[in-house]
Amino acid sequence: MSALSLPFLSCTFSSTYPFSISLNSSFSSLIPFQRVKLFGSTSKATTRSFFLTARAMAELVKDKESGVAAAEGGKMDIEHSRTFLEARSEEELLSGIKKEVEARRLPPNVAAGMEEFYRNYKNAVFQSGDPAAAETVLSNMAVALDLMLLDVEDPFVFQPYHKALREPFDYYMFGQNYIRPLIDFRNSYVGNLSLFYEIEEKLKQGHNVVLFSNHQTEADPAVIALLLEKTNPHIAENLIYVAGDRVITDPLCKPFSMGRNLICVYSKKHMYDVPELADMKRKANIRSLKEMALLLRTGSKLVWIAPSGGRDRPDPVTGEWNPAPFDSSSVDNMRRLIESSGAPGHMYPLALLCYDIMPPPSKVWKKKLEKEES
């Protein structure tokens, strides 16, 4: 097993949304930055093409699921509402949220979150200055709200190891294209890009690679994949993320999580938030560790984990961002898993700086509310 340095990525978000991913070694001196132009902003023609495809795919998956449900005895006994897919304006989209609440298909608290989700996304995309911003927001949010509603109607249950859903609806590309308009690729760069190619070579040789990373936003997986999708698509699409329970239980997060390869765990920070559930959480984590061990035994696996157990917070005095301290037991658990897998393994440190895309709250609270939780 080896511990090596990793490339440095830096990306700027549209307008006032600066973003950077820095990948450096805690075992050696910092590697100099290397600027790389990946690709430019999505053109209006490309954007429109994707949105039409996304709508068609969303409708396809609803039709297929309805057909499967009927064949299996009608698991989904209520026809999925097409309110959001049929919306052709912001007014229709927002009134559709109210319509679904009135029809009692959507809980008021989820509806409030969806409306805030829309307004925040709109504000961010409009700051890019893209002339197609209005179309981008409407089309992306129509599909996003539709998938959120679908999960409220028929909740998706994640297994300990979840493989990204790519068909009949491509949840991975949905997440990629939702975050894409928020990034200013012209002012983004990848440093030490050669090391990503080095990682790909190790994966081809049957080696396992683990990225020990800090965690800044719920968009971290999409940001990493977007910066690498042109140069290292294999890494972008096959990276396995160790994910906390909120992103696989919150209906506003689940459609994005369904497009990623995940090992699902409960964070140690929140293990005893509800004491009576602590034993269930521990057992679930044991199952996830077993799944991880089985995956690593097959070799050629790339795993991302945030040993801090939560998102970084700014210094309350200076406002500067620093990676949250790693939990040494989490690092040690991964080391043991790598060593016992039977395949060669490598550990790389990864530093992220991308908080501006979805800033976390300044404090970690116990209440299960997105504005207040880790």
Question: Which of the residues are catalytic?
Answer: 154
Residue 277, CA distances (Å) to 16, 264, 269 in order: 41, 16, 14
Measured CA to CA, the distance from residue 180 to residue 182 in angstroms comes to 5
DSSP string, 134-168: HHHHHHHHHHHHHHHHHHHHS-----SEE----SS
Residue 213, CA distances (Å) to 26, 238, 255, 292, 326 in order: 11, 17, 23, 17, 9
Q: Give yes or no for a contact between 179 and 357, defined as CB atoms under 8 angstroms apart.
A: yes
Q: Give yes or no for a contact between 32 and 190, defined as CB atoms under 8 angstroms apart.
A: no
Contacts of 67 (CB under 8 A, 6+ apart): none
Strand partners, 9: 21, 190
Strand partners, 222: none
Measured CA to CA, the distance from residue 230 to residue 232 in angstroms comes to 6
Which amino acid is residue 374, in one-letter code? S
Residue 248 three-state SS: helix
Residue 251, CA distances (Å) to 95, 118, 148, 149, 175 in order: 19, 14, 6, 8, 14
H-assigned helices in the chain: 44-71, 90-102, 108-126, 133-153, 171-179, 194-204, 220-228, 233-238, 254-257, 278-297, 328-340
Measured CA to CA, the distance from residue 329 to residue 349 in angstroms comes to 16
Give the strand pairing for 8-13 and 208-213. unpaired
Measured CA to CA, the distance from residue 206 to residue 293 in angstroms comes to 15
